[in-house]
Amino acid sequence: MNITLAQAEKMIAAAQKKSVELDTKMNIAVVDGGANLVAFARMDGAWLGSLDISIKKAKTARFFDMNTGVIGELSQPGGALYNIEHSNGGLITFPGGVPIKNAAGDVIGAIGVSGSSVENDHAVAEAGAAS
């Protein structure tokens, strides 16, 4: 099972709403179960450099089915995943990428958000995933 475009658009709308609440501008990407881009939004004024980061966060979260912040903790020197960010054509290993699960708990895609602090990025991604 994969994320539909309608579901992805709903996630982006929820993420945008949270971004407005936090008074920040975000790039928001949603990928399907195969880590293929389904939907993307760049809020007016969001950083151009964060566009690619948001997509890579979504893909990273789907590739490993865990929050990108968790991967970041595991990829520190001496960690079990040290240097993993150099695999798969480049990963993002800081917060802002969250796997998306269906009602049965199966991962069906991921959302990636970039454009502010990692705390805000994660909060916005969580809001999108929860929708």
- Lowest-confidence range among 4-18, 26-40, 79-93? 79-93
Query: Both tokens of residue 114?
Result: 């970039």
State the pLDDT confidence band at 89, using cuts at 50, 70 and 90.
Answer: confident
Classify the phi-psi angles of 103: left when phi > 0, otherwise alpha if psi is within -120 to 50, otherwise beta. Answer: alpha
The answer, yes or no, to whether residue 1 has pLDDT greater than 80, is no
Question: What residues does each domain of the chain span?
Answer: 5-130
pTM of the model: 0.94
Which pLDDT tens digit goes with each residue over 28-63?
999 999 999 999 999 999 999 999 999 999 999 999
CA distance 54 to 47: 11
Please tell me the predicted confidence (pLDDT) of residue 90.
87
Which pLDDT tens digit goes with each residue over 105-119?
999 999 999 999 999
Query: Both tokens of residue 38?
Result: 């389904």
Domain at 5-130, CATH class = alpha beta
CA distance 10 to 117: 23
Task: For strands 107-114 and 97-101, give the pairing.
Answer: antiparallel
Alpha-carbon dihedral angle through residues 18, 22, 27, 30, given to the nearest 10 degrees: -30
When the pLDDT of each residue in the chain is averaged and rounded to a whole number, the result is 95
Query: Both tokens of residue 24?
Result: 């920040």
SS3 109: strand
